[in-house]
Structure formats: structure tokens, C-alpha cells
């Protein structure tokens, strides 16, 4: 097994992301539907990569879209 295969990031559940961001289930669903949060549907469940969530937050997309909607 090479180094790249051992460093594969695991997929996280909705519960993990809710805890990670300290938000509600409804808030996560709203962000997925309205703000383009990086999420992937696997069957009936949403799955996330922490690195994608971090990048999305750092990009400022969350603040930009939220502030535009409140105008």
C-alpha cells in the first residue's frame, strides 16, 4: 500500500458535521439546499468531507450568500 492510499480522508455523517460546526440538522440541510455547501448524497444519507467543509467556510461563500439574502 502506498502513502496516498493510507491518507484517504473518510466520509463524515450528518451528525459528525453538526457536532463539528455546532449547528442543527435543519441548519445543515438549509446550507446544502440554499448555499451550495459541499455535500454528497449516498443513498438516503448526506456525507461530507471535513476538508471540503473547511475550504467552503474559509472561502467566504457562507458569509457572502447569507449577507446577500438578508439585504
From the list 20, 10, 5, the residue with the least C-alpha distance to 56 is 20
Report the distance separating Cα 50 and Cα 30, nearest Å: 18
Q: What is the pLDDT of residue 37?
A: 79
- Asked whether residue 1 is assigned to any structural domain, the reply reads no
Of residues 4 and 48, the one with the higher pLDDT is 48
Domain limits for position 19: 9-70
Q: What is the pLDDT of residue 57?
A: 86
- Asked whether residue 34 is assigned to any structural domain, the reply reads yes
pLDDT tens track for 13-70: 999 999 999 999 999 999 888 877 789 999 999 999 999 999 988 887 666 455 445 4
- Asked whether residue 3 is assigned to any structural domain, the reply reads no
Amino acid at each position: 500500500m502506498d502513502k496516498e492510499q493510507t491518507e484517504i480522508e473518510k466520509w463524515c455523517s450528518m451528525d459528525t458535521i453538526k457536532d463539528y460546526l455546532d449547528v442543527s440538522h435543519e441548519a445543515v440541510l438549509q446550507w446544502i439546499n440554499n448555499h451550495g455547501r459541499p455535500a454528497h448524497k449516498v443513498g438516503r444519507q448526506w456525507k461530507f468531507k471535513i476538508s471540503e467543509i473547511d475550504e467552503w467556510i474559509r472561502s467566504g461563500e457562507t458569509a457572502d450568500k447569507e449577507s446577500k439574502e438578508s439585504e
